[in-house]
Structure 1
Amino acid sequence: MIYNILLSLFPLLSAFPLFMMLVELHGKRPAARQLPWLAFACYMVLWNSVFTRFMAEHPVLWTLNPIGDIFMMLSFMFLFVREENRKAVEPIRKSYRVRSIVAFLIYIVSNVVCFHILRPPVFLIPLIVGALVVFYFDRLYSSLSYYPKTRIHLVFYFFIISTFLVLPLFRLFFIAQIGYVFMCRYRNWIAHKDRMIVQHDEERKMNHKIVTKMGETVNDFSDLHESLQNFLTNLAQGIEAKSAAIYIWDEKEQLFRCSDIYGVFFPLVRGNEMSFTHVETLKEIALSQNISEHDNIVWECGMSRIGTYVPFASQDGRILSLGSRAANIRSLILEPLNFNQQLLGVLVVENKLYERYFSESDYYLVQNFAHYATMILKANEAVMERQNQARTQAELQLGFHIQSGLLPHKIPEFDGISLAGSMTPAKEIGGDYFDFLNLPNGNLGIVIGDVSGKGVPAGMVMTSLYAFLHAECRYFVNSYRALVRVNSDLAGHISETMFASLLFFEWNPRSKALHYTSCGHEHILHFKKMDNSLDTIKSGGIALGMIDDNSKIIREKSLIVRPGDTVLLYTDGVTETANEKREMFGLERLKAFVEKYQALSANEIRLALLEELKSFAHGAPQADDITILVMKF
């Protein structure tokens, strides 16, 4: 009776890993990575509750029973080596797969030979070989995993015990241990999600703090060093860094010069000074030395135009090459300062306070706020070039530099969608904005917006909007939630007279689904190829920054698109383009244009519309920015 009760527990315990996997998938754990785990859980349920019972009634199939068990252990080892090596710094070694499969094949051969060719008592041979093979799997796991866990070792050991002591109780220990492993995976995932939520809140608070400080101190670009010093101070204090510096690129001399420093900054060049050199002496050394060596980390970052994140400087050869200074550098972040295709310099942030190391969140924040440094450098350049012009004209030009630096310089490529976008600035800047965002869920964010006002105020609002939007998209859930949070952030940091209209589209390349949330932007023009008809969709919502809480006014919607469809987004500079008779281009002409040219590619439609507007204006001056964004499916 006890024997039958124990056997009846096999299916129940075997189903627990499958139950945990279904819970994980329901909880939105990344599905692609979990499919092998789900397949293993299904195999375990079927094997322990169906196939083994069926084989017990057919002695001729008994040979398959131990082979199926060893295959289950092989799959288990594959899954955990693959899972834990995701955290490893070095790439996983592929040869373990060949070795483990060879061991599995050796076991199959020994099992078949001993059961079907030789006679008892040689049946003990496959038992011993099977135990050795499983022990070998355990050793492979230990040697290849990032951090071997005791609970994984217990799975292998319980299996070996249940192989020799053929009693249901030991088999139950083995199955229960696998169930416990799956439960721990789920608990670790939940703990990770909780940590990410806390980290997101901390990032948002830090983001707000830095934005507020930047808005208070970075407003006068006539004194370059004062502006850069304020920027470095706000950034370093915001992310709790010990020091920071900006290296400015000298195009004529082909070298980097250290322009401004905050804190105890150790120069990123080789030197002979003692490790505890006086702070002022270190500053003098940094400001007097130039970087022109091609193997220097600042040079590599600037020339590659790619940010560099060095969480542990003691493991990076580029830092170790600095000699005595390397001992004082624990952690490092570098970010190039680019304006369109022009290299302006490199931002360097050095060492975390309290002997900590920089995290990926710190790296992200440095990337996010490096645009302020770029804005300062270009704004100062514009001020110096136009110091004899009127202040109003200079502000308009500054606004153009600020805004242009935030626009994307490369059109992304995603399955099922072709994109084209551009912003044609006017003499007076209106603050148009468009962007493409690689979202953490693998989808593409497509943004178009327009800030009210002109000049530097509009440029500063656009920079803050850019920072808030990118911060929210780091933990993206959907466009509605992102814009509710962005509105809350923006409303407290801009003037009551300013606001920004925005359209946020999310394209899913796997399901070919398009969702969007609107904050008071222009119409959406959607040409349906199948119906040969054009839909003019009122985007709706309320502009960002007009009220503190827009959660009850805006909402996320779906836009059903099919192959061949075209979606055109624009700012009011398109429909308000005027000719010499002061006639506006208007929405009706734009709709007629889309119907006429919808068969062209996305970029051809963009170019054709610019040409159409130019022809319509017939030489009349452009009064506002013209931003066009075309989606072709």
Structure 2
Amino acid sequence: MIEKILLSFIPLISAFPLFMMIVELYGKRPKGRQWLWLIFSIGFFIWHGIASRFVSQIPFGRPLIPLGDLSLILFFTILFVKEENRKAPNPIRKPYILKGLIALGIFAAVIGVFSYWMQPPIFLIPLFAGALIAVYFDRLYSSMSYYPKPRVHLVYAFYILSSFLVLPVFRLFLLLQIAYVFIRRYRNWIDRKDRLITAHEEARITNHRIVMKMGETVNDFSDLHESIANFLSTLAEGIEAKSAAVYIWDEKQKLFRCSDIYGIFFPLTRGNEMSFTHAEALREIAFAQQISESENVIWQCGISRTGELIRFASSDERILSLGSRAANIRTLILEPLTFNKQLLGVLVVENKLYEHYFDDSDYYLVQNFAHYATMILKANEALVERQNQARTQAELQLGFHIQSGLLPNRIPICDGISLAGSMTPAKEIGGDYFDFLDLPNGNLGIVIGDVSGKGVPAGMVMTTLYAFLHAECHHFENSYSALVHVNSELSGRIAETMFASLLFFEWNPKKKSLHYTSCGHEHILHFKKSENALETIKSGGIALGMIDDNSRIIREKELAVSAGDTVLLYTDGVTESVNDKGEMFGLSRLQNFVSEYEALSAEEIRTSLLEVLKNFANGAAQADDITILVMKF
């Protein structure tokens, strides 16, 4: 009676592991790790709840029950070892499954020999064999498991008891023990979920605390090192790291340099200094590093743009290759600092307080806050660029003011001629030049020139040309001699690719005569009032600075002018002005302009031409310096 009552509990208890598995799967436990446990729990229920009863009633079937039990226990052992392998840093690769199957095969052979071919009481031998195999499985589990659990040992103990003592109560002990294992496993899973929830909540609080601290300490990017130092200290304190560093990528030299360090940071390059090296010495070593070796962990992180959590540094070959320094590095996080696919550097967080190891939560926080370091580097880069631009702008403005001082600040008044002139640079410093010179012979020098190129280089050549020209005019004989000497001085002092075209006019107010020497400048537009016609004169010559001696190429000429005539001089910035459609103003439009506006005064012609050029451009940017010089007789 009691036996029947106890046997009725067997299906209920054997179904308990299956019930627990269904609960775990419903609770969203990762299915990829559970299908073997599910198969075991189904087999466990079918064998103990249903199949074993029928097998025990079959003639000579009773010895098969220990074989079924041992098969499930082998499956049970394999699952436990696999479970611990999944969590262990170095999974077991020994052939423990094969060993278990061999032991199970030996036991099946013993059952076959002694239970079916021998008569009682010899059949007890398989029971002893089963006990030995159960003990072997227990030892196998102990040798394979990282943390052997006593409750698993009890499974083997109760199996041995249930094999020798056929009372149902001992089989119930075996079933209850396995059910208890599943209960503990379920509780561990629940506890792990609770720990994860707690960890996530702590990570959220830590994240919020770091954000608040970052907002207080990282708000001024004018000093890069101070900003990075504040960032590193805030991050390290937030995740309880001992040290951290930022390595900046040098794009030109293709290497990483340590920019800033927090805490006692052990350099991540090979070295033979002892582990007790002074903290300041470690900092100096780190700052002196130039990392360009492809096998270095910082290089790999930066070049691959892939962050990495090295939880156990002692098992990473890249860390072990650092020699004596590796002994001080327990755990490590590396995160690349990138902006729009541009590599800026690598953030390294090294070792955790209280000899703990970094986990996924720490890695997430480092990844999350690495953007602050990226922001600091880009903000500082932009700030430096703006400062450089402001400095350059100030220098250009200064250059513009200096150059403006070289251009005539007043238009001279001279008998028989009315003048107007201006230079509008395309940049702050232009390469065009015009000037009025009081010559020693009492005549008036009128100069217009154009230096190749634009900007600072052209402005420097123009300044040099101004100095040489004014120096030569103190010993003036004629425009031809002056430009021969200027060319000789200029050709050896400017770059081979630089040159300057120039027209030098000399007006004699007494004789009312105009002479000029050309050095490869633009056409001269001369409107003859008496003939009511425009003459376009090719100026000729060769630009200054192109050859060392221009004396045989240039020559002085006379331009016959009379009252009412107009002469327009210009640089190529006028004819090469481009509108919004890409069309150039050209010489023909300039010729038409002179013919149309020749009746105006010299100043009116100048301002009218600037207005015409502006209207023609229709908003298009000025591409070259524009210089206009008008002579009205």
> Shorter-chain TM-score category?
0.5 to 0.7
Q: Taking structure 1 as reference, are residues 122 and 339 closer, same or farther at Cα in structure 2, changes over 3 Å only?
A: farther
The answer to whether residue 325 in structure 2 is matched with residue 325 in structure 1 is yes
Deviation at 1:159, TM superposition (A): 0.5
How far, CA to CA, are the matches of 2:198 and 2:368 in structure 1?
Answer: 19
Q: Taking structure 1 as reference, are residues 110 and 239 closer, same or farther at Cα in structure 2, changes over 3 Å only?
A: same
Deviation at 1:187, TM superposition (A): 1.1
1:170 is aligned to 170
The answer to whether residue 238 in structure 2 is matched with residue 238 in structure 1 is yes
* 1:207 maps to amino acid: N
* 1:97 maps to amino acid: I
How far, CA to CA, are the matches of 1:105 and 1:82 in structure 2?
Answer: 22
Deviation at 1:375, TM superposition (A): 2.5
Deviation at 1:361, TM superposition (A): 1.4
SS in 2 for 1:283: helix
Q: Taking structure 1 as reference, are residues 45 and 228 closer, same or farther at Cα in structure 2, changes over 3 Å only?
A: same
SS in 2 for 1:252: coil
1:624 is aligned to none
Deviation at 1:267, TM superposition (A): 2.0
Q: Taking structure 1 as reference, are residues 265 and 56 closer, same or farther at Cα in structure 2, changes over 3 Å only?
A: closer
Deviation at 1:334, TM superposition (A): 1.7
Deviation at 1:209, TM superposition (A): 1.5
How far, CA to CA, are the matches of 2:282 and 2:31 in structure 1?
Answer: 51
* 1:15 maps to amino acid: A
How far, CA to CA, are the matches of 1:64 and 1:18 in structure 2?
Answer: 23
1:194 is aligned to 194
Q: Is the 8 A contact 1:265 1:283 kept in 2?
A: yes
Q: Residues 558-573 of structure 1 correspond to what in structure 2 (within 5 A)?
A: none
User: Which of 53-62 and 236-245 deviates more?
Assistant: 53-62
1:79 is aligned to 79
Deviation at 1:175, TM superposition (A): 1.1
How far, CA to CA, are the matches of 1:51 and 1:265 in structure 2?
Answer: 65
Deviation at 1:272, TM superposition (A): 4.5
TM (normalized to structure 1)? Answer: 0.57
Q: Residues 479-498 of structure 1 correspond to what in structure 2 (within 5 A)?
A: none
Q: Is the 8 A contact 2:206 2:239 kept in 1?
A: yes
How far, CA to CA, are the matches of 1:354 and 1:79 in structure 2?
Answer: 34
How far, CA to CA, are the matches of 2:102 and 2:356 in structure 1?
Answer: 46
Deviation at 1:23, TM superposition (A): 2.8
The answer to whether residue 13 in structure 2 is matched with residue 13 in structure 1 is yes
Deviation at 1:346, TM superposition (A): 1.4
Deviation at 1:85, TM superposition (A): 1.3
Q: Is the 8 A contact 2:60 2:116 kept in 1?
A: no
Q: Is the 8 A contact 1:158 1:170 kept in 2?
A: yes
Encode CA deviations 1:462-510: one digit per residue, 9 max, x unaligned: xxxxxxxxxxxxxxxxxxxxxxxxxxxxxxxxxxxxxxxxxxxxxxxxx
TM (normalized to structure 2)? Answer: 0.57
Q: Residues 345-356 of structure 1 correspond to what in structure 2 (within 5 A)?
A: 345-356=345-356
* 2:124 maps to amino acid: L
SS in 2 for 1:290: coil
1:515 is aligned to none
How far, CA to CA, are the matches of 1:384 and 1:376 in structure 2?
Answer: 12
* 2:27 maps to amino acid: G
2:300 is aligned to 300
Encode CA deviations 1:244-280: one digit per residue, 9 max, x unaligned: 1111122322322111112222222334545444433
Q: Is the 8 A contact 1:267 1:285 kept in 2?
A: yes
Cα RMSD, aligned residues only: 2.6
Deviation at 1:386, TM superposition (A): 4.2
How far, CA to CA, are the matches of 2:245 and 2:251 in structure 1?
Answer: 19
Q: Taking structure 1 as reference, are residues 129 and 354 closer, same or farther at Cα in structure 2, changes over 3 Å only?
A: closer
Q: Is the 8 A contact 1:141 1:148 kept in 2?
A: yes
1:218 is aligned to 218
1:69 is aligned to 69
Deviation at 1:55, TM superposition (A): 2.7
1:160 is aligned to 160
2:265 is aligned to 265
Encode CA deviations 1:269-324: one digit per residue, 9 max, x unaligned: 33454544443333223212322333333223323433232334344443344344
How far, CA to CA, are the matches of 2:271 and 2:74 in structure 1?
Answer: 54
Encode CA deviations 1:514-566: one digit per residue, 9 max, x unaligned: xxxxxxxxxxxxxxxxxxxxxxxxxxxxxxxxxxxxxxxxxxxxxxxxxxxxx
Deviation at 1:389, TM superposition (A): 6.1
How far, CA to CA, are the matches of 2:354 and 2:157 in structure 1?
Answer: 44
SS in 2 for 1:93: coil
Q: Is the 8 A contact 2:17 2:179 kept in 1?
A: yes
SS in 2 for 1:383: helix
How far, CA to CA, are the matches of 1:128 and 1:162 in structure 2?
Answer: 12
Deviation at 1:173, TM superposition (A): 1.5
2:500 is aligned to none
1:367 is aligned to 367
Q: Residues 496-575 of structure 1 correspond to what in structure 2 (within 5 A)?
A: none
1:125 is aligned to 125
Encode CA deviations 1:64-122: one digit per residue, 9 max, x unaligned: 32322222112211221111211112234262222222322332233233333344443
How far, CA to CA, are the matches of 1:215 and 1:368 in structure 2?
Answer: 15
Deviation at 1:203, TM superposition (A): 0.3
How far, CA to CA, are the matches of 2:36 and 2:344 in structure 1?
Answer: 47
1:383 is aligned to 383
Q: Taking structure 1 as reference, are residues 79 and 357 closer, same or farther at Cα in structure 2, changes over 3 Å only?
A: closer
How far, CA to CA, are the matches of 1:22 and 1:304 in structure 2?
Answer: 43
* 1:7 maps to amino acid: L
Q: Residues 24-103 of structure 1 correspond to what in structure 2 (within 5 A)?
A: 24-59=24-59, 61-93=61-93, 95-103=95-103
Q: Taking structure 1 as reference, are residues 21 and 96 closer, same or farther at Cα in structure 2, changes over 3 Å only?
A: same
Encode CA deviations 1:131-181: one digit per residue, 9 max, x unaligned: 232222222222222311111111012112211222222212111111111
Deviation at 1:340, TM superposition (A): 4.2
2:437 is aligned to none
Q: Is the 8 A contact 1:256 1:291 kept in 2?
A: yes
How far, CA to CA, are the matches of 1:270 and 1:234 in structure 2?
Answer: 28
Encode CA deviations 1:597-621: one digit per residue, 9 max, x unaligned: xxxxxxxxxxxxxxxxxxxxxxxxx
* 2:160 maps to amino acid: I
Deviation at 1:235, TM superposition (A): 1.0
How far, CA to CA, are the matches of 1:61 and 1:269 in structure 2?
Answer: 69
How far, CA to CA, are the matches of 1:214 and 1:374 in structure 2?
Answer: 13
1:22 is aligned to 22
How far, CA to CA, are the matches of 1:182 and 1:305 in structure 2?
Answer: 44
* 2:108 maps to amino acid: I
1:228 is aligned to 228
* 2:72 maps to amino acid: M
Deviation at 1:234, TM superposition (A): 1.7
* 2:280 maps to amino acid: E
How far, CA to CA, are the matches of 2:162 and 2:354 in structure 1?
Answer: 51
The answer to whether residue 3 in structure 2 is matched with residue 3 in structure 1 is yes
Q: Is the 8 A contact 2:336 2:347 kept in 1?
A: yes
- Structure 1 residues without counterparts, runs of 5 or longer: 391-633
SS in 1 for 2:8: helix
User: Which of 112-121 and 97-106 deviates more?
Assistant: 112-121
1:313 is aligned to 313
How far, CA to CA, are the matches of 1:295 and 1:180 in structure 2?
Answer: 50
* 1:183 maps to amino acid: I
Q: Residues 371-450 of structure 1 correspond to what in structure 2 (within 5 A)?
A: 371-387=371-387
1:247 is aligned to 247
Query: How many residues in Structure 1 have an aligned counterpart in Structure 2?
Result: 391
Q: Is the 8 A contact 1:302 1:343 kept in 2?
A: yes
Q: Is the 8 A contact 1:85 1:144 kept in 2?
A: no
The answer to whether residue 148 in structure 2 is matched with residue 148 in structure 1 is yes
Q: Taking structure 1 as reference, are residues 117 and 17 closer, same or farther at Cα in structure 2, changes over 3 Å only?
A: same
How far, CA to CA, are the matches of 2:191 and 2:287 in structure 1?
Answer: 46
1:180 is aligned to 180
Q: Is the 8 A contact 1:87 1:146 kept in 2?
A: no
2:398 is aligned to none
SS in 1 for 2:75: helix
* 2:16 maps to amino acid: F
1:138 is aligned to 138
Q: Is the 8 A contact 2:60 2:115 kept in 1?
A: no
